[in-house]
Amino acid sequence: MDDTGLADPVTVNTMSDQHQPGDTPQSWEEMLRSMLGDGADEVMAEMRERGIDPTALGGPPDPVMMQYALAQVQKMLSAEGTGPVNADVAHDVARQVAVSEGDPSLTGKQAKDATEALAVAELWLDAVTDLPPAGGTRHAWNRSEWVEATLPVWNELAAPVASSVSDALATVLRDQLPEGVDDGEAIPGMPAGVLHDLGGAIDPAQMMRRLGSAVFGMQVGQAAGTLSREVFGATDVGLPLLDSPDTVLLPTNVAAFAEGLDAPIEEVRHFLAVREAAHARLFTHVPWLRSHLLSIVERYARGITIDLDALEAQVRDIDLADSEALRSALSGGVFGLQNTAEQKAVLLNLETTLALVEGWVDEVSTIAALPHLPHAIPLREMIRRRRAAGGPAEQTFSTLVGLELRPRRSRDAATLFSIVARAQGPAGRDAVWDHPDLLPGTEDLDDPSGYLVRREATEHEHADVDAALKEIFGEDPAANDLPADEDGPADGPTDEAK
């Protein structure tokens, strides 16, 4: 190997000599696809840009082509410290997917229209909620900028599942690969000695972990890149994807969504800006909410159990040259993830919390927009249907991590917040977020009209418990309620103390 990171020509020729008679160049393409999955397409495309078409080669593989191909494989397998999700692969794939349908730089007018809409949204929200503005910077981003800003959170969300799956696969394959494979024996679907030729002996289990990391990186990148073509801001999926309190609009996606709607694009832009600003206020000024949501996802991911016996039965006959089988295995399609009773409870908690976030934003943003946007109600319904249906990226993330990010009960949650607002005003509606233990649950979404009665009963129960504890510890509840310079009557506090 030279200092450029490419395999040296002697190594390439040695590998070519190890081919069995009758091998074709396509067998090398199959090897790349089995090891790189969807990433092989990128390698092949770059080869063609260099004037090398692997499918058109009729003779032995060209040494230059093999140098380049092996360098790509080596880069994937020899990279240290990539973690459960290969962040570099995720980044490259996400950027490619984000620009695959075009991602032009924003014009000055597009940026100005977006940031002004976000500023106006704050004024409208000030009239309907006591939660103040998030206070961050207002941005207009293209798709690539959205990918750069949000990808770290996607990698973090996928990491626990990726780690479990890769470790399980490595454990199973370690038992199945022949002894001495790292000394040069053939791995099914690969040439003999491929591990040595890729930079020295590599433990097969470690190789599978790195392959798993790379494939998860591809899957995360695919999901994030696809989402970048669908989202309108940084909060569409209901999870806080930014560490900062910034608000964002993607003018290209807003314009695409507005096409074919009866509402003018100005109304669409302002309505989406109000939703983005409402999300940002909630995540910023309910300090426990961001960590609460992300911890639910992490608890679910870390609680996943994998049946090694079932896994071994599934991968026993997988040929590493079969790219489709390998991708299926490494992306979790054959793992039979088992949801325990605890896992189901965590999923229900996540679904309920996402619904409450979406329901509050839906209710508050619509009330804020109604006096200003004639099409506020139809736009609200369009967004509701869009969120309920989900999209390709959300489906990919569901397959990858086992979670669906669609708030199925958002209409029920919006109804609940509307009922609370009518009874107790905007302050009472927003006070629902005062503490995570006091959040409405599934029973409340089933019967929103009875939520206030149940909450009042719970508050009375807590008050009775507090009084009992004070009595146990020798405290006088009535005396504790009095001002320090007054002595109230024996039967309770004075009217002034009340």
Digitized pLDDT (tens) for each residue of the chain, 498 residues in all = 443 333 333 333 333 333 343 333 344 455 445 545 555 666 566 555 544 454 543 334 444 544 544 454 555 555 554 578 888 888 988 999 999 988 989 999 999 999 999 999 999 999 999 999 999 999 999 999 999 999 998 888 888 877 777 777 667 666 655 555 544 444 444 444 444 444 444 566 666 677 677 777 887 888 899 899 999 999 988 888 998 999 999 999 999 999 989 899 999 999 999 999 999 999 999 999 988 988 888 887 777 766 666 666 666 666 554 545 555 555 544 444 556 788 888 888 888 999 999 999 999 999 999 999 999 999 999 998 888 777 666 666 676 666 666 677 899 999 999 999 999 999 999 999 998 888 999 999 999 999 999 888 877 766 656 666 666 776 655 555 444 444 444 444 444 433
pLDDT at residue 50, as a whole number: 46
Q: Are 379 and 136 in contact (CB under 8 A)?
A: no
Q: Are 396 and 223 in contact (CB under 8 A)?
A: yes
pLDDT at residue 276, as a whole number: 97
Provide the terminal-to-terminal Cα distance of the chain, rounded to the nearest Å.
83
What is d(CA 213, CA 204) in angstroms, rounded to the nearest whole number? Answer: 14
Q: What is the 3-state secondary structure (H, E, C) of 307-320?
A: CHHHHHHHHCCCCC
pLDDT at residue 43, as a whole number: 59
35-61: string of b/e by CB count within 10 Å (b at 16+)?
bbbbbbebbbeebeeeebebeebeeeb
- Among 344, 337, 286, CA closest to 311: 337
Please give the structure tokens belonging to residue 226: 């696809």
pLDDT at residue 61, as a whole number: 43
pLDDT at residue 10, as a whole number: 30
